[in-house]
Structure 1
Amino acid sequence: MMSMEVDLDGLFRQNETFDYDKDYEYKDELEIRATWVVIPVLYSVQMVIGLLGNGLLLAVLALKRRSWSMSDTFILHLSVADVLLLLVTLPVWAAQASKSCDWCLSGFLCKMSGAVFDVNFYCGIFMLACISFDSYLSVIHATQLYSQKRPWLAHISCILVWLGSLILSIADWYFTVAKKDYEQVECVHEYSVARLGHHTLGFLLPAVALIICCSFILLRLQRCSKGLQKQRSIMVILPLVGVFFLCWMPYNITLIVDTVRSISKEPDVGTLKGSLNTALMVTSMFGCIHACLRPLLYLGLCQNFRKQILALLRCAPVKSVGSLWELGVGEEVLPEQNHEVGERELMNVDHQEQLTQC
């Protein structure tokens, strides 16, 4: 009689299991190590490009110091704020992202990098608010806030902008600390209500002012397209404001969400907290790109600045030209007014010729 027994011992004896956790941990470790390399490289490239662009800009301003204008004053302060951001903030953040320089994230450097980051942002938005408000007055009300007759007013405005930016950055200086987490040092914020208050004063209010001024200017452009489209100042200011919001808006929205979450005292869920921290890091890096884009915007929008840069790179003699930036700050007569004055002069000349013929 044939035996029908089946030997299953060999089938069940191989009880080897695959450790998926180890595989996931290995992939996570690779992703983390990749960020340790990629982010510092991006910061380094950003710093080099920004320093080259702003260095050329400052060199042109130094060559033009004999024929200083109101626009040069604001451009100089904006460029100085960008250089401070690139030199102070980005090296510290690159060291933090690389996880290889804990001593670089000491209390002083951590606080200074956070404060300089905010000072750059506040200076940028306040300076643009001053320039946009002057453009609004010249386009809508045919008057100007800054003029060559009152050069001190532009200097006082820039000093007030710096003072206001420094005051608003006190919260970051005080509440930013170097904290050790999982045997790694990171710069973190330890406040919530103060951040929301100074962020409202430093971002929401000037942002609303910028939006209102630019909206009125755009409405006037639509109504009087023939006269106002010739104003190069408007065509330069509006892209500057648009790129500023494009670079800084994601960071500010993420910051507001993180602040509201902290104020509401919601439980810190690991995934949500990690996502917000990652979003803050990425959006802040995206905001710092603005320091690199501003010289490129001047190069693309301002023809006279482009000529000066080409002459400087060729080591050619720099010819004195008019406004490099074409922002319209400090220019007494607008193109639309020049057109009206020219028509009146032509009418007067024709009238005088008719009288002489009679």
Structure 2
Amino acid sequence: MDMFDDLGILDLLENVTYNPDDVVSDSVKLCRKSNVNDFGSKFNPAFCYVNFFLSYLGNGLVLYIIYKYEKLNSVTNIFLLNLVLSNILFATSLPFWATYHLSEWIFGDILCKLVSSAYFIGFYSSILFLTLMTFDRYLAVVHAVAAAKSRKRSYAFISSVVVWCISIIASVKELVFQKVWKSNSNGLVCEESGYSESTMALWRLVTYYQQFLVFFLLPLFMVSYCYISITVRIMSTRMRDKCRAIKLIFIIIFTFFLCWTPYNVVILLRAIQSSSPDVDCTYSDKLDYALFVTRNVAYLYCCISPVFYTFVGKKFQSHFKRLLAKKIPCLRRHLSLSSQSTRSTSQKTPHSDYEY
């Protein structure tokens, strides 16, 4: 399955795997993968469905609040809408992969390519939009005066288009390599085929380093730098709730690092292993197990990130309270609501969307 093969799970549905670098030798060392595959067939469908449910619940809630209480006249809301759409696109592919794990690929060749592409486009764009929102938050807080002139709707639209283009280009391999073919032992499979093993091995290696460098190290550096700068800026002001703001910033950085680092370290180790001519089956199995777990933790953060990034802000908290009070009247007396304060908050300053 390409979504797992490209991320390091070798022959998920087959019982054996091999190192393509060894095909030039007289003997090829085979690693039995039956235990790893059994674990994956039980572990991944459950996580796919959990991620799918949480993503649609959380992103749907943010999308409804944007539709009900907000307008797309601010840079923040444009970025947030794109982030929600990228997460929904990613989550839409998950039930297909869960079904594939449980049986075989029953959706045809076109959907094989489209679902694989949607999976990676949504995944990559989600990471980039999170980074872009963090950078925009940095501009609005640290360089508020200069940002007031440059943070226009055109800036938001152009930045969003660039992110989508980068994500599509990074995922074009799925459209080229993914095909449906019949395996003697596993029925119909949606995997890379039609090219030499050396060509596909090279592209897998490119994907590993692309993931680690472009979609992990760069975002991690940007997020860390921006939030450290925001913290320094907040410390130099007389802002109320200063400690609360710094605490939330620390939680955001720590959660991002905690969820993404283990997965990307495993990705890097897989890249190093794939470049090695020697095959250590025990080490390979350990990486496979680690990748199953760390990948799903990273994807879970990807799915719920809009809720995490928006509801730390006072404005969205206020919108959510209004929504709860409207849908569940018995909660009204337990919620402190003020529509006037909500309106004033949204019009307070150029960077009011980033109030903690």
Q: TM-score range by the shorter chain?
A: 0.5 to 0.7
> 2:353, 2:138 → 1: CA distance?
14
Partner amino acid, structure 1, of 2:101: A
SS in 1 for 2:207: helix
The equivalent position to 1:194 in structure 2, one of 202, 206, 225, is 206
The equivalent position to 2:257 in structure 1, one of 233, 245, 258, is 245
The equivalent position to 1:255 in structure 2, one of 246, 251, 267, is 267
Alpha carbons of structure 1 residues 42 and 198: separation in structure 2 relative to 1, 3 Å: closer
> 1:141, 1:81 → 2: CA distance?
28
1:280: how far off?
2.4
The equivalent position to 2:317 in structure 1, one of 306, 318, 321, is 306
TM-score of the two chains, using structure 2 as the length reference: 0.68
CA contact (8 A) 1:125 1:207 kept: no
The equivalent position to 1:169 in structure 2, one of 165, 168, 171, is 171
Alpha carbons of structure 1 residues 122 and 37: separation in structure 2 relative to 1, 3 Å: closer
Partner amino acid, structure 1, of 2:259: C
In the alignment, what sits opposite 1:204? 217
CA contact (8 A) 2:208 2:271 kept: yes
Task: Report percent identity of matched pairs.
Answer: 26
1:51: how far off?
0.8
> 2:309, 2:354 → 1: CA distance?
21
The equivalent position to 1:69 in structure 2, one of 69, 74, 78, is 74
Alpha carbons of structure 1 residues 80 and 329: separation in structure 2 relative to 1, 3 Å: farther
Aligned pairs for 1:124-135 (under 5 A) are: 124-135=126-137
Aligned pairs for 1:245-284 (under 5 A) are: 245-262=257-274, 264-284=275-295
Alpha carbons of structure 1 residues 278 and 116: separation in structure 2 relative to 1, 3 Å: farther
User: For this pair of structures, how many residues does the alignment match?
Assistant: 302
CA-atom RMSD in angstroms? 4.1
Query: Which structure 2 residue ranges, 5 or more long, are not aligned?
Result: 1-32, 193-199, 330-336
The equivalent position to 2:297 in structure 1, one of 274, 286, 289, is 286
Partner amino acid, structure 2, of 1:56: L
Which protein shows a greater Rg?
1
Partner amino acid, structure 2, of 1:210: V
> 2:43, 2:316 → 1: CA distance?
34
The range that moved more, 284-293 or 111-120, is 111-120
The range that moved more, 243-252 or 135-144, is 135-144
CA contact (8 A) 1:221 1:229 kept: no
In the alignment, what sits opposite 2:62? 57
CA contact (8 A) 1:110 1:178 kept: yes
SS in 1 for 2:145: coil
1:171-226 Cα offsets, whole Å, 9 max, x none, are 3444456687782347577434422453323332333222222333334445x264
Alpha carbons of structure 1 residues 115 and 273: separation in structure 2 relative to 1, 3 Å: farther
Alpha carbons of structure 1 residues 206 and 144: separation in structure 2 relative to 1, 3 Å: farther
1:79: how far off?
0.6
In the alignment, what sits opposite 1:214? 227
> 1:152, 1:73 → 2: CA distance?
10
> 1:299, 1:140 → 2: CA distance?
19
1:258: how far off?
0.8
1:111: how far off?
4.1
The range that moved more, 152-161 or 31-40, is 31-40
Partner amino acid, structure 2, of 1:152: S
In the alignment, what sits opposite 2:332? none
SS in 2 for 1:301: coil
> 2:136, 2:346 → 1: CA distance?
15
Aligned pairs for 1:96-175 (under 5 A) are: 96-98=100-102, 100-104=103-107, 107-145=109-147, 150-175=152-177
CA contact (8 A) 1:171 1:194 kept: no
Query: Which structure 1 residue ranges, 5 or more long, are not aligned?
Result: 1-27, 336-358
1:256: how far off?
1.5
SS in 2 for 1:266: coil
> 1:315, 1:249 → 2: CA distance?
40
